[in-house]
Amino acid sequence: MNRSPRSDRSIARGATALCFALTLVALGGCATVTSWDLMDHEGDFEDIHKKYTQDIRWGDYEKASVFVADEDLDGFKAQIPQLEDIRFTDYEIREHDYEVERDTATVRVTYHGYSIKTMVERSVEETQEWEIIPDTREWRVRPNLTILRAGVVGARP
């Protein structure tokens, strides 16, 4: 079968146009998916909650306080003396649920620690509730240090 160069060019143009159209459809489909985290807020969040958790683990509560929601900051700072005799030895991030559409996240962390008065190591689970503050677009946590102390000393909060 003998084809002319003109028909070969037409076939090539048609194939190119088809590939271009399929690419546009694929990209258009991606743009309409609302649950994707195109700005990688989840990656940012993972870095932030890890830093906060490490600050708590090392007893650096002043550093951790920069991640606390403004309306909870006074309460957080008032609870810091409760942890004076507590030492955390390790932590594990159990799981986290990240809600792209709601700008919220929940992280379950297990801390291992002891009171210097008893030297008995215990584990305590903290549920960290995080949210993005709309005005600043920064992540903030609403912690309760009383739960950490109670778990480590073996008491109820």
Do 111 and 148 contact (CB within 8 A), yes or no? yes
pTM tops 0.75: no
For residue 96, give Cα distances in angstroms to 20, 24, 26. 39, 35, 30
The predicted pLDDT at position 58 comes to 96
The conformational region for residue 95 under phi > 0 = left, psi -120 to 50 = alpha, else beta, is beta
The residues, any chain, with a CB within 8 Å of residue 122's CB and separated by 6 or more, are 112, 113, 114, 151, 152, 153, 154
* Ranges of the chain whose pLDDT falls below 70: 1-43, 157
Amino acid symbol at 31: A
The predicted pLDDT at position 89 comes to 96
Do 59 and 88 contact (CB within 8 A), yes or no? yes
> In this predicted model, what pLDDT tens digit does every residue of 40-84 receive, in sequence order?
455 678 889 999 999 999 999 999 999 999 999 999 999 999 999
